[in-house]
Amino acid sequence: MSESKWPQAGRERLIVPAPVGLAGTGKENPEEALMRQLDERHVMMMGDNPALPRMPARPTLLDYFKLRLHGVTLRHLLVSAGRALDAGHSEKTVLACLLHDISNSSLIRADHGYWGAQMIAPYVDEEIAWAVRYHQALRYFADESVGYAYPESYHRFFGRDYVPPEYIRRDAEYARGHRWYMTSRLITLYDIYFFEDSAVPEVERFADIIGRHFRQPDEGLGFDDSPSAHMWRTLIWPNNFL
């Protein structure tokens, strides 16, 4: 695609990183320095970034998987959903596994279960969004009845003396008594972080399940004015200044 077909053509487009990505890192926020560069040739980036694949006008969930999710977390979601499908679980459980870490891969890691549940809530059965929300808390607590142990990877990630905060303990206790507990618990069972020996399925393997259980808006995901549409638009244009 020629430069003239991109927004703000002919000028250098400056990207200010999201503050949440710099907080606590010790790295200097470049916003003031970038502001001083603004002139007729330099502008803050708005709209499509040619460094990213361009999204279609009416994007679907599959488009986000193919064009915006990436890396270890994308492979993790596909493997988790594939294992749940192979084990014969319900399609709602498979979709919950496919979507449980969608915020990790595309938006924000902190409190990813809560963010992810909000992203998908307008488009899925309430049980699926609930399971995604509470898998975050349940990850920290074993359930021997289904063969779920505290992840060894968490010892590496956080240290053996790590104790989850009070809100995580509270939400895990609440989830244990809920009628949808097992749906969320199954997410944790297939929430496999290290899968070097696992074949990674293509997202198309889940296309029919998505079609049956994900309410794709006619306007395109991000343009339907749902309570979470802005979160999906952020994935389309993650470098927008405002």
Q: What is the pLDDT of residue 83?
A: 93
- Evaluate whether 69 touches 105 at the Cβ level (below 8 Å): yes
Q: What is the pLDDT of residue 196?
A: 58
Is 13 strand, coil or helix?
Answer: strand
Looking at residue 7, what is its pLDDT? 81
Give the pLDDT score at 2: 39
**pLDDT score at 3:** 43
CA dist., res. 175 & res. 68, Å (int): 31
- pLDDT tens for 222-233 read 999 999 999 999
Q: What is the pLDDT of residues 110-120, one digit of tens each?
A: 999 999 999 99
Assess contact for 128 and 99: CB atoms under 8 A.
yes
Q: Is 148 helix (H, G, I), strand (E, B) or coil?
A: strand
Contact 125, 212 (CB under 8 A): no
Pairing assessment for the beta strands 42-44 and 12-14 based on DSSP bridges: parallel
- pTM for this prediction: 0.92
State how far the Cα of 115 lies from the Cα of 127, in Å rounded to an integer: 16
Q: Cα–Cα distance between 200 and 217 in angstroms, integer?
A: 28
Per-residue tokens: 142: 């074993």
Residues of the chain with pLDDT under 70: 1-4, 193-197
pLDDT of residue 230: 97
Comparing CA positions, the residue from 221, 239, 181 lying closest to residue 43 is 239
